[in-house]
Amino acid sequence: MTAALPLPIQLVWLIPVYGFSGVLLSLPWATGWVKRNGPRPAVYLNLLVTLLAFGHGSLITLEIWKRGAQHLSFNWFSAADLHLSIGFDLSLTNLAALELVTLLSLLAQFFALGYLDKEWSLARFYALVGFFEGALSGLVLSSNLFMSYFLLEMLTLSTYLLVGFWYAQPLVVTAARDAFLTKRVGDVLLLMGVVALSALAGSMEFTDLYRWAAQAQDPSQGTGQLAPLAGSLIGLGLIAGPMGKCAQFPMHLWLDEAMEGPNPASILRNSVVVTSGALVLLKLMPLLRLSPMATTVLLVVGTISAIAGALVALAQVDLKRAFSYSTTSYLGLVFIAIALQQPAVALLLLLSHGLAKALLFMSVGSVIATTSCQDLTELGGLGNRMPATTSAFLVAAAGLVGLLPLGCYWCFGLGVQAIWQAHPLFAGVIVFTNLLTALNLTRVFRSVFLGAATPKTKRAPEVNWLMALPMVSLTVLVLLTPFLMARINPVPGIGAFSLPVAIAVAGSGLVGVGIGSLIRLDQFWSRSIQQPLRGIQDLLALDFYTDKIYRATIVAFVAGLARFTNAIDRQVVNGVVDGIGRLSLQSAENLKLSVSGQLQSYVLTVVIAIVVLLSSLTWIVGEAVR
C-alpha cells in the first residue's frame, strides 16, 4: 500500500521532524558556541524549516485532495502485547489544521524577528518555537492516542520553556512553574486514561478505540463490557488533558500567567496550542460515549469557561490578559460544541478563532513594542498613527465577534442553529458570550486606539516591516476566512441558519458593541466606591481569586503533606533507627565487646542479626511445621 503512495505522503513523518530539526540547527548559537557572531542564522534556519513544513504540508494536502484520506503507520516500539506506533491520519481536516499550525508558526516567527529584534537569546527562542511547532504539527496529524499523549506532553514542556524564556524576570519564574504544573496535572490524569485504554483496549489507534468503545458500551456483549465507574473515570481522565491545554476553568490560571512570556509565543499559544488541545478532544469524542458523566462535565466546564472567561476578561486592565481570558471563553464554546456532538461547528470555530486571535495578539504585540506598555489605563490615541496595527485589531475583532460576516459570525450562526431547539440554554451561552466579547473588544479598542494620546503613547510610530508584513498578511487571511470555511464545509454551507438566528447573533454583537461604546471607560479601572460593585470588580479583575484558592487548597495540602512526611521521616523513622543504633553501641560498650571503631560495631551488628534471625526463623518455621 505504502509503495503506491506518492513521495510527499510517504515522507509524512518528516513533518514533525522539520520543527524538531530547528532545535538542533539552532544549537550552535543557542549554546554560545558561536561567540563572535550574532544568533540570526538560527532564525533564518528555523524560518526555512517551517517554510519546508508548510510546503510539504501543502503538497500532501493536494495529494489527499485527489486521493482521499490516507493512514500511515510506523512501528515505534513493541513488547509482548503492547504495540506503540507512530501513526499519521491524513484527512483533510487534520491537514487543514496542519496548514494552520505551520502557517501561523511561520507568521509568528517572522513577527518575532521584529518584536524581539534586540533580543540576544533569539536562537534559544527559535529553538523552542521549533520544538513547539514540531510537537504541534505531529499532534494534529496523529492517528493514535499514544502519540497524541507523547506530543501533548512535549507541548507542556515547550510551553514551560517558552514561558520561562525570560528566566531572570521574577514573575516569569512563577508563571513558568504554574503553567507546567497545571498542564502536568491535566497530563497525568490523561496518562491515567491513556494507560487504562491501552491495557483494556489493546490498540491505541483512534479507529480501534472507537470500535472498542462501541463494543464496551454494547449490553449484548457479555464479556468485554466495561464497568460504568471505570468508563466514567476513563472519560474524566481523557478530558482532563485537553482541559488543561485549552485553559478551561478550573485549569485556566496558567494562560493568564503565561502572558509573561514573549508575545510571539503568546500568538501561538492563544491560537494553535489551544486549538490542538481541542483537536485532541475532538478525536476523543467518540470515546466519551463510555462516560455520560464526562459529557456533562464538558458542558459544565465549557459553560463556566465561556461566560466566566468573558466576564473576567472585561475586568482586566492588562492588554494581553484581556484577550487571554477571551481565549478561555471561546474554547469553552468549542467544548460545548464538542459535548453536544457538533464537530463541524467546533472545527470551524477553532479555525476562525485561531486566525482572528493570532491576529489580535499580533496587533497587541505591535502596541506593546511601540509603547513599552500593556496597561490599558496608560494607553490611548494610537488609532490615527498606526494603520497596520489598528486595522489588524479591527479585523481581528470583527473576525471574533458575531456581527460582521467574518469567521465567527458564521460559526455562531451554525452553532446556534444546530442546538437552539434541543439545548436553548447553551444557544443562549453562545449568544451571551458573543455579547460580552463584543463589549470587551470595543472597550479595549476605545482605550487603546481612540481618545487622546497619553505620555506613553505620545510618540508611536508604526512598527517595522518585520512585524507589519506578517500582521497585514494575516489581516487579509482573516478577511478571507469565510471563503476558507465555505471550502472546508460545503454541506450544509456556512450560511445554513435561519434569519432569527442571524438576527440573534448579529443583535448580540451589536448590543455588545453598543454597550462597549457607551460605558464610561474609567469606571472599569478605578475601583468603585460602592461596596458591592467594588467587590464584583475585584472578583473579576483577580479572576475569582483562583490563584488564592489554589494556594489555600491544593498547594497548601501538598505542601503540608510534604512537610508532614518529612517530619515523620526525620523524627519517627530516622529517630527509631538512630535509637536502635545508639542502643546497640551502648550495649556494645556495656558488654565490653568493643573498644572503639566502627568495624567492631559492624561485627557486633552482624552477630546480633544472625542470632535474631536464626532464632526467629527456627521459631516461625517450627510453628509452621507444627
Site for another protein in 136-165 (CB under 8 A): 149-151, 153-154, 157, 160-161, 164-165
- CB nearer another protein, residue 236 or residue 430: 236
Site for another protein in 537-566 (CB under 8 A): 541, 558-559, 561-566
| 174: number of Cβ within 10 Å | 12
Q: Give the largest Cα separation in the chain, rounded.
A: 102
Site for another protein in 487-516 (CB under 8 A): none
- CB nearer another protein, residue 177 or residue 211: 177
Q: What is the 3-state secondary structure (H, E, C) of 434-465?
A: HHHHHHHHHHHHHHHHCCCCCHHHCCCCCCCH
Stretch of 121-129, 265-273, 409-417, 527-535 lying at the interface with another protein (CB under 8 A): 121-129
- Min. distance of Cβ 418 from another protein in angstroms? 35
- Min. distance of Cβ 18 from another protein in angstroms? 16
- Each residue 397-426 as x (binds another protein by CB under 8 A) or -, in order, gives ------------------------------
Site for another protein in 14-33 (CB under 8 A): 31-32
Q: Is residue 121 within the footprint of another protein (CB under 8 A)?
A: yes
Q: Is residue 446 within the footprint of another protein (CB under 8 A)?
A: no
Q: Is residue 617 within the footprint of another protein (CB under 8 A)?
A: yes
What CA–CA distance (Å, rounded) separates 365 from 378?
A: 16
Site for another protein in 312-341 (CB under 8 A): 316-319, 321
Q: Which residues pair with 205 in a beta bridge?
A: 144
Among 421, 531, 590, 598, binds another protein (CB under 8 A): 598
* Type of residue found at 626: R
Q: Is residue 172 within the footprint of another protein (CB under 8 A)?
A: yes
Cell of 56: 510539504
What CA–CA distance (Å, rounded) separates 466 from 463?
A: 8
Site for another protein in 424-443 (CB under 8 A): none
Q: Is residue 614 within the footprint of another protein (CB under 8 A)?
A: yes
Can you tell me which residue has the cell 455520560?
292
- 71 in Cβ contact with 89 (< 8 Å): yes
- Min. distance of Cβ 5 from another protein in angstroms? 25
Closest residue by Cα to residue 612 from 593, 572, 584, 579 = 584
Q: Which residues pair with 82 in a beta bridge?
A: 79
What string of DSSP letters covers 573-609?
IHHHHHHHHHHHHHHHHHHT---S-HHHHHHHHHHHH
- Each residue 262-291 as x (binds another protein by CB under 8 A) or -, in order, gives x-----------------------------
- 357 in Cβ contact with 270 (< 8 Å): yes
Closest residue by Cα to residue 333 from 261, 402, 403, 230 = 402
Among 162, 460, 505, 540, binds another protein (CB under 8 A): 460
Cell of 544: 475569582
Q: Is residue 465 within the footprint of another protein (CB under 8 A)?
A: yes
Site for another protein in 567-596 (CB under 8 A): 569, 573-574, 577, 581, 584
Site for another protein in 187-206 (CB under 8 A): 188, 191-192, 195-196, 198-200
Q: Which residues pair with 546 in a beta bridge?
A: none
How deeply is 612 buried, as exposed, middle or buried, from its count of CB atoms within 10 A (0-12, 13-18, 19+)?
Answer: exposed
- Min. distance of Cβ 154 from another protein in angstroms? 6
Stretch of 65-73, 87-95, 221-229, 290-298 lying at the interface with another protein (CB under 8 A): 221-229
- CB nearer another protein, residue 392 or residue 435: 392
Contacts of 157 (CB under 8 A, 6+ apart): 131, 180
Q: Is residue 133 within the footprint of another protein (CB under 8 A)?
A: no
Site for another protein in 369-398 (CB under 8 A): 371-378, 383-387, 390
Among 210, 456, 510, 594, binds another protein (CB under 8 A): 456
Q: Is residue 450 within the footprint of another protein (CB under 8 A)?
A: no
Among 11, 17, 173, 511, binds another protein (CB under 8 A): 173
Q: Is residue 132 within the footprint of another protein (CB under 8 A)?
A: no
Give CA 618 to chain center in angstroms. 62
* Site size toward another protein, by CB under 8 A: 123
- Min. distance of Cβ 395 from another protein in angstroms? 14
- CB nearer another protein, residue 148 or residue 275: 148
Q: Is residue 129 within the footprint of another protein (CB under 8 A)?
A: no
- CB nearer another protein, residue 319 or residue 477: 319
Can you tell me which residue has the cell 524564556?
165
- CB nearer another protein, residue 384 or residue 498: 384
| 64: number of Cβ within 10 Å | 18
Helix (H) or strand (E) holding 82, with range, is strand 82-90
- CB nearer another protein, residue 383 or residue 509: 383
What CA–CA distance (Å, rounded) separates 66 from 95?
A: 13
Can you tell me which residue has the cell 527562542?
125
Site for another protein in 39-58 (CB under 8 A): 39-41, 44
- CB nearer another protein, residue 66 or residue 626: 626
SS3 label, residue 40: helix
User: Which stretches of 401-423 are DSSP H helices?
Assistant: 407-419
Stretch of 336-344, 426-434, 483-491, 609-617 lying at the interface with another protein (CB under 8 A): 609-617
Angle 281-287-288 (CA atoms, 0-180°, nearest 5)?
75
Helix, strand, coil proportions of the chain in percent (round to 5)?
A: 75, 5, 20
| Cα–Cα distance list, 488 to 12, 62, 81, 221, 464 (Å) | 22, 14, 39, 38, 34
Stretch of 166-174, 280-288, 335-343, 359-367 lying at the interface with another protein (CB under 8 A): 166-174
- Min. distance of Cβ 168 from another protein in angstroms? 5
Cell of 29: 548559537
What CA–CA distance (Å, rounded) separates 40 from 45?
A: 9
